A and B are shown apart, each in its own frame.
Chain A
Amino acid sequence: MKNVIELQGLTKDYGDGRGIFDLNMTIGEGEMMGYVGTNGSGKTTTIRNIMGFLKPTSGCAKVNGLTAWEHSSEYIKNIGYVAGEIAFPDLKTGTEFLKSQAAFLGLKDMSYADELVQRLQLDPSASLKRMSKGMKQKTALVAALMADPAIIILDEPTTGLDPLMRDSFLEIIKEEHQKGKTIFMSSHMFNELETTCDRVAMISNGHIIDIADIEKIHKRPVKEFKIEFMTEADYKRFKNGRYNITRDQAQYNQLTVGVTREELPQMLKDLTGFEIKFISEVVYDLERHFNEIIAQQKESKENVQ
């Protein structure tokens, strides 16, 4: 697989420990990489380096083998980019803005733009100044995707979108992914990265601390179930049984149990002998995965000290 986006020791040091430090990552052609991290951890700084807006202190970001700071003008038109904070040029309407973007990109055929406008339920004839945050976001998305670019870079694109808009937006991104586009997207919503990305990188205080493979996270052999019992007696009886209890919340008569695929039917059979109030799988998801990594890091730091 060809590497489309590469970070090689990318460092941008703003002093006082702020910035990004020695980032390494490759995103292959057709791959969708997610990017999470707390506020101020360096997501936008990374993206702005890839776009060639910032000069790295050391190391580099590359797109199609070209270093970003020196050569971004050669590839910038092939990237559909939505900035985290959208500032439109001083134009009257969304339509005018889309037209000016199309002219800049040399785009003649607006049929895909029209389709996107329909699907995102955007009224581009509205005044850019008067547009609500969601409308601005949608206008920026249409501008980014309408020329069918091979690379898509999105900085928290769903922030401020209502849930339905977020869904239709994610549908569009999934389709772009299926078309073979290379996509890099940051977000605070673990669930939206989990359902769209192949891999997700996590940045913390300017350092990439993990790159997770989504498929591996979903295919774990042991599943956990949280069960709440009607009575304390049943709770105790189950607790003393043969199952592997991973969490015990006596005050609610709740137990969390780890079982393999093979053990699950037997556990359900056993449960018929108990009065239960509630049962649900505790899904091992991306959020938990990263929480565990952060916890491990804290622990190892404490051990060092």
Chain B
Amino acid sequence: MDSKIIEVSDLTKDYGFGRGVFDVSFHVGKGEVFGFLGPNGAGKSTTIRHLMGFSKPDSGNTKVFGKETFSNYHQILQNVGYIPGEIALPAGLTGHEFLRMMMDMQHCKDDSHLKKLLDIFELDPSGETKRMSLGVKRKLAVVTAFMNDPDVLIMDEPTSGLDPEMQQRFIDYVKEEKSRGKTILLSSHIFSEVDATCDRIAIIKDGRIVSDFVADDLKHATRKEYEVTFDDSDSYRSFQEFAKGCDYLEIIDSNDSKNRLRLVTDDKYINQVVGALAQYKITGLHHRKETLEDYFMSYYKEDKEYGGAFAG
């Protein structure tokens, strides 16, 4: 894990007006899947575009396989599978023609991966790229990135626009690639996808990395959150009274109009909690899984003020 395949060191690109990325540093080790999260406009794509060698840093640098990317971008393109955040396909080609063109560019001779990928993602590339819907274009980009079996994958919101079934297949495929030792950088807004695949996660906000942590720390939390709905306001209120003197659960939110509470407890107290709830008339009991999402949401909150539509 120690060899750094992808390295970003003090990367700064200042577009003015506070836009850009500032002193961004992280690395991705061999065989690691690294999640890169952040609100729209925070600098994810800017960082990724530097890693692909498309853009020259104001200061700092980005390296893949120890090579500085801007001056070696043609090598990067050959050895790195890349899915851009926004897909622009050349006009006047069919999907087949596009794939053949990309295979030539990647010096890819073996089409066995391509066949497998077309099958997995149920892509029929015979149509014209112009006529393809957003989701079909996205599939084409996914297939293009993986078809040369590259050791490194850099993906910018790869599943945005894919339907849920295809998202799941994508997750399964990434897991498989991970088990084959691939090094992967994945930017995404979809928490379940990050949760299912990533070893480490960094969050970028306003062009700066604000948090960098190991994903497992979050997954193995034993704190659980439940949403409980009561049949009537009497049982709803008397349970609230009961909870005040209770040391194994805590109410963190309540909704009077729906007689609904959110409570947290620890795994080891679940029997006591169920026992307590059995004394009240409840109609719903729901475990909330979105701990990762909740965690990130705290970083997504914005406080900036913007000018109106006619400002500037």
Contact = CB atoms under 8 A, between A and B. Distances in A.
Contacts of B19: 126
B290 to A, nearest CB: 10
Interface residues of B, number: 59
A117 B267 contact: no
Interface string B123-161: 000010001011110110000000000000000010011
A280 B278 contact: no
Contact of B135 (A39, A114, A163, A223): A39
Interface residues of A, number: 64
Contacts of A276: 270-271, 274
A110 B309 contact: yes
Contacts of B165: 38
A143 to B, nearest CB: 9
Interface of A: 14, 18, 37-40, 43-44, 84-85, 93, 95, 98-99, 110, 113-114, 116-118, 121-126, 130, 132-135, 137-138, 142, 146, 156, 159-165, 188, 190, 223, 225, 261, 264-265, 268-269, 271-272, 274-281, 283, 287
6 cross-chain pairs, A with B, having the tightest CB-CB distances, nearest first: A134-B40, A39-B135, A125-B312, A280-B287, A114-B308, A268-B278
Contacts of B40: 132-135, 137-138, 160-162, 165
Contacts of B136: 39-40
B164 A135 contact: no
A40 to B, nearest CB: 5
A39 B161 contact: yes
Interface string B102-123: 0000000000000000000000
A121 B306 contact: yes
12 contacts: A40-B136, A93-B312, A99-B309, A117-B306, A124-B309, A161-B40, A162-B189, A162-B300, A163-B189, A188-B161, A188-B164, A265-B278
B15 interface: yes
Q: Which of A142, A164, A283 is packed against the most chain B CB atoms within 10 Å?
A: A164
Contacts of B287: 278-281
Interface in B28-45: 38-41, 45
